[in-house]
Structure 1
Amino acid sequence: MRIYPLKFRPILKERLWGGTKLEKVLQKPIVSDITGESWELSAVSGDVSVVSNGELANTSLRTLIDRFPEALLGKSVVERFGKEFPILIKFIDAKQDLSIQLHPNDELAKKRHNSFGKTEMWYVMDADAGAELIVGFNKNVTKEQYSKSLEDDSLLELLNYETVNKGDTFFINTGKIHAIGAGVLLAEIQQTSDVTYRVFDFNRKDKNGNLRELHTEMALDAIDYEKKDDFKVRYDRTLDATNSMVDSPYFKTNFLNLTTDFIQDTASRDSFTIYMAVDGVADLKTNEGSARINKGETVLVPAMANRIHIETNGVQLLEVTI
């Protein structure tokens, strides 16, 4: 079977800090006013994406990978990851501040959780005036200073705050302490992993009146305690061109700001291509079929496609490959 560009049903997640922007801005079919995440493309156990368009509708991503591993993923991706889908794609709406957290690296995640680590990037799609992210420390700290800040409730004084606007992009490597602030709607691209070490949650209680679990001890050996300025992604926004944003061992992301039709040659890519529409609308066409992508939607183009014809009068896309 020749595999056409695939769309998937969003997997919607209620979160203590969630809101309604996923519906109001991205037209997601939420059923709760605390919806925090829309998992767009996932092979995480228990949350596997299911195709929503064309003759493969109702087929799970796992089934597709089992049936067409190289055609869907690319030979080099299969050689590296086997039949594991290495990327998790989300939209996140933070009505309230998220917990302050970090993620372990591959080695530690494998040892403790039999999982990949969680390197991720954020693209800000919408931000209330003055909205902030927490990314890293504002000075070098020691493990002892960090531990003392938890004891005396002064952790927030050690953290680096970044005021954000639409289009701002951040690369969050493993070990970096971080949090998405209230009023931010963003696209998240990450390694396939759901391993998070929560270290502070503003003493909030869940709907049952319980404090959420913290992972204080596990986080101690996973944190990067150095102050670093390596997180803000600076990228070109040249019209009708492929602009590199992130080029990491885990994923590569480009920014496409298209005003007219565009052809992306993927013959030598040997990887699937993911498109996230962060504004506008386009039709993505290959020899095997087509899919329309609207703002807030995600499309997976199989590795077997040698070129992708993007028809549009105006669209902004995040393009993700391995």
Structure 2
Amino acid sequence: MKKLYPLKFKKIFKKKVWGGRGFKENLGINLPTKDSYGESWEVSSHKNGMSIVDNGSLKGKDLDELLLEYKEKLVGGEVYDKYKDKFPLLIKYLDVNDRLSVQVHPSDEYALGVEKEFGKSESWYILEASSDAKLIMGLRKGMTKEMFIKKTKNKDFNDLFNVISVKKGDFINITPGLVHASLEGSVLICEIQQNSDTTYRIYDFDRLIDGKLRDLHFDKAIEVIGYQNVPQISSDENRKNIEVSGGTKQEIIRGEYFNIDKFLIQEKFKDIDKDSFMIYSILEGEGNLNCEGVIYPVKKGETWYIPPELNICIEGKLEIFKTFI
């Protein structure tokens, strides 16, 4: 069995009608064609996009293969005990330049019973936003199931949603049952979510794709919507900065499915987790990961998977999203 090390996976690009060129323009990510791309799957073991190692002695292996071979050595003992041979998370970038369909995600309980996969709890960190960027996040206060069904069946979407303005640095935790969409402007998002691709579309603004309306999932959506669910939102200004050796840290979220910290590294920061893997999303800057004397250059737009118990020293001027369980 080969020794584990910091892993970089091939990006999995998804063309979307609402996509753009922001991955290249804002993150320095090379795109394979001149088309509009809406998603870049960074770490995934989902059947709709399987991550393949792109560096080192394990190059060419996919994430499922690694998990079957290395088990708790790849993800951590407690994580493996809970999830076994099913990788729990999916890390993406989203480039949203048109209206994202009005949608909702199911809980584990519903999705495992109906779709045979995890539910979808997810979070959005706004990397870039136009001055007019607005999102739908939940339904307006007082909305009931009966009112919602009546209005949507009549295609009356006025005064139905809770609309918020967003800016760079905002973080939104989107729990199962929270209706959400993009409404105006453009946003570039780092998305952390459960390992699921189940989305129930409620309304797609009557948009035509290849001359056809996209499928909606109204009946399932009605069953899973939390009619009084509200988003959990924080911004860079109201999060506490914690001094750490070599920089600062913000504890973005501590949740049932994932935890996220944001680091601003100015010099060197030593990091290790004995119980969980860590995923570094490099949001700004460039530098190195020094793993037990081996140097891995890193830069903006890259995503690195760190198996548990590896001693890492992050060196350079970097802004990093760290996801762990």
- State how far apart, in whole Å, the 1-side matches of 2:128 and 2:215 are: 29
Aligned equivalent of 1:303 = 308
Q: Give the secondary structure class of the aligned counterpart of 1:17.
A: strand
Q: CA RMSD in A?
A: 1.6
- State how far apart, in whole Å, the 1-side matches of 2:59 and 2:158 are: 47
Which of 242, 246, 259 is the equivalent residue of 2:253? 246
Q: Does residue 1:283 correspond to 2:288, yes or no?
A: yes
Q: CA deviation at 1:266?
A: 2.3
- State how far apart, in whole Å, the 2-side matches of 1:163 and 1:264 are: 35
Give yes or no for contact 1:199–1:219 (8 Å, CA) kept in 2: yes
- State how far apart, in whole Å, the 1-side matches of 2:128 and 2:53 are: 27
Q: Does residue 1:204 correspond to 2:213, yes or no?
A: no
Aligned equivalent of 2:4 = 3
- State how far apart, in whole Å, the 2-side matches of 1:174 and 1:288 are: 42
- State how far apart, in whole Å, the 1-side matches of 2:142 and 2:231 are: 12
Aligned equivalent of 1:184 = 187
CA separation of 1:56 and 1:21: change in aligned 2, threshold 3 A:
same
Aligned equivalent of 2:13 = 12
Which of 142, 145, 163 is the equivalent residue of 1:143? 145
* AA of the residue aligned to 2:261: N
Q: Give the secondary structure class of the aligned counterpart of 2:73.
A: helix
Q: Give the secondary structure class of the aligned counterpart of 1:203.
A: coil
Aligned equivalent of 1:110 = 112
CA separation of 1:187 and 1:229: change in aligned 2, threshold 3 A:
closer
Aligned positions of 1:1-322 closer than 5 A: 1-30=2-31, 31-181=33-183, 182-206=185-209, 208-226=210-228, 228=230, 230-232=232-234, 235-238=239-242, 240-267=247-274, 270-287=275-292, 289-305=294-310, 307-312=311-316, 314-322=317-325
Give yes or no for contact 2:172–2:231 (8 Å, CA) kept in 1: no
- State how far apart, in whole Å, the 1-side matches of 2:294 and 2:65 are: 20
- State how far apart, in whole Å, the 2-side matches of 1:148 and 1:231 are: 29
* AA of the residue aligned to 2:141: K
- State how far apart, in whole Å, the 2-side matches of 1:284 and 1:245 are: 22
How many residue pairs align between the two structures?
Answer: 317
* Deviation by residue 1:185-225 (Cα, 9 ceiling, x = unmatched): 0100000000000001100000x200000000111110000
- Structure 1 segments, 4+ long, off by >6 Å, are none
Q: Give the secondary structure class of the aligned counterpart of 1:6.
A: coil
Q: CA deviation at 1:156?
A: 4.6
- State how far apart, in whole Å, the 1-side matches of 2:205 and 2:309 are: 47
* AA of the residue aligned to 1:194: D
* Deviation by residue 1:118-169 (Cα, 9 ceiling, x = unmatched): 0001111111111112111221211111011212323252211221111110
Q: State the TM-score, normalizing by the size of structure 1.
A: 0.94
Q: CA deviation at 1:288?
A: 7.5
Give yes or no for contact 1:36–1:92 (8 Å, CA) kept in 2: yes
- State how far apart, in whole Å, the 2-side matches of 1:279 and 1:133 are: 24
- State how far apart, in whole Å, the 2-side matches of 1:145 and 1:109 are: 25
Give yes or no for contact 2:121–2:176 (8 Å, CA) kept in 1: yes
Q: CA deviation at 1:64?
A: 1.1
5+ residue gaps in structure 2? none
5+ residue gaps in structure 1? none
Q: CA deviation at 1:290?
A: 4.0
Give yes or no for contact 1:4–1:301 (8 Å, CA) kept in 2: yes
Q: Give me the identity figure in percent.
A: 35
